[in-house]
Amino acid sequence: MPRSKFPAPQTFRVATWNINSVRARIEHVERFLKTWSPDVLCLQETKVSNHEFPASNFRKIGYANHATNGQRMHHGVAIIARTSISGQSSEDWQANGEARHVGVTLGASGVPQLRLENVYVPAGGEEPDIATNEKFVQKLAFLDRMTAWAKAIAKPTILVGDLNIAPLPEDVWSHKALMNVVSHSPVEIEKLAALQAAHNFHDVGRHFTPAPERLYTWWSYRATNWRESDKGRRLDHIWISPSLVKNIISSQVIEDARSWDKPSDHAPVIVDFKF
């Protein structure tokens, strides 16, 4: 049979994970990479400076390309890839030098030129009160600056990360109990909606698991049995430009990772594309 003149579709997997210290949980990251084999993994809360990032561990298992924006003991984001990346950039939406964003251009064979933006939005403290909580004020300002940036996006973009907001009532274990708690307060939800609208981003998680279906990515360390109590929130997100919606084929939260020994309180999130 003659070979088709059209190239075969290529599957491309992107994952995001707030790892809560990449060095403390390096074995978890390696296990995830070997088991789930993403082409690109975005990490948040790496808690390591750039020169101390454990790049050699990832090179040994085929992830030779890295983009890091690190900070010792605090914050930090990184992109590790087995495909080529270029055009690294970092935005200071916190306006204080904290390492909370890194972006690259993906250059995988058969995959169109895409921007990948990895973000770690500040948690925002305890109380959603702008009069008494400076951290909450900083979080809202971060989202405003990010929204202004998003309005200028010109290239097809994948935005991933710990956005530290659960926008829908079904994104938390109890809307009534959490509607006045940081991460699910009305003002945060409004700011996140404005960010999403700035580029008309498409929410991949809710594309495949529409509300009111349960969909969580984070469970507090305070829970004695996180799975049994299941008091989760959807804080980790994957958004895409409208032009990429036709290319997504699946998405999943790897909840079992929350049960690994000394885990992160976040679970990895995966999206598969076909180009």
Tokens of 107: 């250059």
> For residue 127, which of 117, 119, 118, 137 has the smallest C-alpha distance?
137
4, with CB counted inside 10 A (0-12, 13-18, 19+), is exposed
Degrees (nearest 5) of the Cα angle 49, 21, 234? 125
Cα 196 to Cα 149, 193, 255, 267: the distances in Å are 11, 5, 25, 22
- Give the largest CA-CA distance in the chain: 72
Cα 149 to Cα 19, 79, 136, 154: the distances in Å are 26, 20, 20, 11
Place of tokens 């074995």: 27
Q: Evaluate the omega torsion of the peptide bond into residue 212 and state whether it is cis, within 30 degrees of 0.
A: yes
* 224 backbone dihedrals φ, ψ, rounded to 5°: -65, -45
140-143, Cβ contacts within 8 angstroms, sequence gap of 24 or more? 140/187, 140/188, 140/191, 141/95, 142/93, 142/94, 142/95, 142/100, 143/93, 143/188, 143/191, 143/192, 143/194, 143/195
Handedness of CA 161, 164, 165, 169 (dihedral sign): positive
> For residue 21, which of 44, 50, 55 has the smallest C-alpha distance?
44
Full-prediction pTM beyond 0.85?
yes
Per-residue confidence (pLDDT) for residue 9, from 0 to 100? 65
Query: Which of the 8 DSSP states describes residue 261?
Result: S
Total residues belonging to the chain: 275
Place of tokens 């990515």: 217
C-alpha–C-alpha distance, residues 248 and 181, integer Å: 33
Q: How far apart are the first and last CA of the chain?
A: 24
CA atoms within 13 A on the CB side of 94: 18
Distance, CA of 131 to chain centre: 29
Amino acid at 252: Q
Please give the chain's pLDDT, 275 residues, in tens. Answer: 444 444 456 899 999 999 999 999 999 999 999 999 999 999 999 999 999 999 999 999 999 999 999 998 889 999 999 999 999 999 999 999 999 999 999 987 778 889 999 999 999 999 999 999 999 999 999 999 999 999 999 999 999 999 999 999 999 999 999 999 999 999 999 999 999 999 999 999 999 999 999 999 999 998 889 999 999 999 999 999 999 999 999 999 999 999 999 999 999 999 999 99
- List the domains of the chain with CATH numbers: 11-274 (3.60.10.10)
Cα 4 to Cα 8, 12, 44, 246: the distances in Å are 8, 21, 42, 22
